[in-house]
Structure 1
């Protein structure tokens, strides 16, 4: 069974996007290819248990086991050695990707304190969008009273759009809560 947003995209949004972007070829219509959720845990240099907890939370949020990321270079100012575990990430595709996007848009982002919308200018020039969350407790799966350390996360939404206009049109079609021009940063 397909995720709710995935079904909605296939049945309605793809046709609307094709008309809006004046594209007749169904393969040229932008779609979300993957979502990468990552957490950099600088405190993990002193205590590896923090990384284990954060990795478990990320796995719980995404429904997929988190991969541990390691330092590529040694940096003495940060007490960092090459190969030291310093973060975790998950790459979501298919049904899990759409389920995560649905929970992000409908549940997590509205729970952010003083939320006025996400920055509409955070595209990379190729239609991919990135945003950061200050803590993982905005997701209802994480119980705030049971966590020891709050940790932010980066979310990169990769699309097949090729340009920012197509990527923004795609995320607008999914009702992504972009900040209006008059709202403060």
Structure 2
């Protein structure tokens, strides 16, 4: 009887410990992802949704396109000869986005570039939720205005499926990167992935967020 009681007590303590951990994790998630208001997300809910519904005659809110994720990619060709360059790129990308970066691997070998399949050639971060909106805010209002002779973005970089990519030539447009601490200038691609069915809808969505396009050059779908 004493042995059975001991096993029961052990099981009870284990279950209690797991429950406490789940509760703690849930509270931590809520504090990080729910309690903090996000300026652009609030603006999307209060203004952008209603504006797009009128512009495209959507029948319900679920049809309104939204920003799904932002993918930031740094290709580092120099990493083939010097692995330290990749380490630097990863560190900078994590500072810029506030999120851990993943290393990109070459899918095939290219002899002319001395590239072998499996080599580490870049770094990537995928942003969603709160960090996505915060990053978008910083790109629009802090980073892009720091580009030399910036006159706006062309709409030529839509992919035909409602996604848009910005090519950034210098990582130093982000204040998180200290120009005196870097060894070289590196660029990156920033891709805005939306749920829009057409480029025209995606264009209007991003424009409403404040993405500074020069002018609308493509024809409406």
TM-score computed with the length of structure 1 as normaliser: 0.95
Q: Which consecutive unaligned segments of at least 5 residues does structure 2 have?
A: 1-35
C-alpha distance in structure 2 between counterparts of 1:4 and 1:51, whole Å: 33
Which residue of 1 is the match for residue 160 of structure 2? 125
Number of equivalenced pairs: 182
CA displacement, residues 46-78 of structure 1 (integer Å, 9 cap, x when unaligned):
111110011110011111101000101111110
Which one has the bigger helix percentage? Answer: 2
Dislocated runs of 4+, deviation >4 Å: none
Which residue of 2 is the match for residue 51 of structure 1? 86
Which residue of 2 is the match for residue 76 of structure 1? 111
Larger radius of gyration between Structure 1 and Structure 2: 2
Alpha-carbon distance, 1:21 to partner: 1.4
Residue in structure 2 matching 1:15, options 42, 50, 60: 50
Residue in structure 1 matching 2:96, options 30, 36, 61: 61
Q: 1:181–1:174: structure 2 CA closer, same or farther, 3 Å change rule?
A: closer
Between the two structures, name the one with larger relative contact order (CA 8 Å, sep ≥ 6): 1
Alpha-carbon distance, 1:121 to partner: 2.0
Over the aligned positions, Cα root-mean-square deviation in angstroms equals: 1.2
TM-score computed with the length of structure 2 as normaliser: 0.80
Residue in structure 2 matching 1:92, options 100, 117, 127: 127
Residue in structure 2 matching 1:147, options 167, 173, 182: 182
Q: Which consecutive unaligned segments of at least 5 residues does structure 1 have?
A: none
